[in-house]
Amino acid sequence: MKLLRLLGAGFSMSLRRSVAFRINLVFDVLLAFTGLGTAVAAVLIVFTRADAVAGWSKAEFLVLIGTYQLITGMRATFIDPNLSWFPETGIRNGKLDGYLLQPAPSLFLASLSLSSPLALIQFVLGVVVLGWGIGAAEQPPSVGGVVSWLVLMAAALVVTWALSVLLACLAFWAPKLQLDVFYHSAWQLGRYPTDVFARPIRVVLTYVFPMALIASVPSAALLRGPQLGVLVAGIAAAGGAAGLAAFAWRSGLRRYTGATS
């Protein structure tokens, strides 16, 4: 409960700072509409010539894009403002030193204390596209499908946070290493079902860099029904990723001696 109160306080402070620069809201809305509109338009164009792509219907593609947009919006709101520039602000400029002196877990402060409320526009647009996809489906989702989707979405959020923490932790060993460009590029693959890729790429996106869990797996569960094995694997992946992120953070802190180290 203490961490939730801290998260709420941080979000409130960030919201007050954001509304002071209203022109940013206009640009954020335009960028969100442009990015999402491009993805949706591409799907609509493809399905004028095909009924299914790699076994995915148009409705399933729309649900996939909506789900991807929901996760992307949450990531842009709560994770990226903290960890995108961690090697620069946290390690080289010494912001981590201040976190270590606070009476709260340093991992929470370093990864979730700040937020970008305007990025929730992406989340709202994702809800719209998700509803569009569900409405276009031949059959509405079952109760089990909805519950499975919610569980897998929670697992996807945990995995997303853990991946960002793991990349940030590399700064403890290589402060000048910047992998954000690679990560953001790989993240874009999450807007496509893994079935459209060749088998070697599917293996990488499922087991090495689990982008399949971000959108493909929850979307399939929502419209095609729950699968116990998939649910268990998703929960296990989330728990394992969170544990690995916490271990990497503790290992990095043992190596860290200050901003000038």
Q: Tell me the C-alpha distance between 261 and 257, whole Å.
A: 6
Please tell me the distance from the alpha carbon of residue 203 to that of residue 209, in angstroms, as a whole number: 9
Q: What 8-state DSSP symbol labels residue 176?
A: T
pLDDT at 24: 66
pLDDT at 210: 84
242 forms beta bridges with none
| Average predicted confidence (pLDDT) for the chain | 85
What are the C-alpha distances in Å from 236 to residues 83, 156, 246? Answer: 24, 11, 15
Cα 11 to Cα 218: distance, rounded to the nearest angstrom: 27
Residue ranges covered by each domain of the chain:
2-255
pLDDT in tens, 202-222: 888 888 788 888 889 999 999
The Cα–Cα gap between 238 and 10 comes to 25
**Which of 243, 196, 239 minimizes the C-alpha distance to 215?**
196
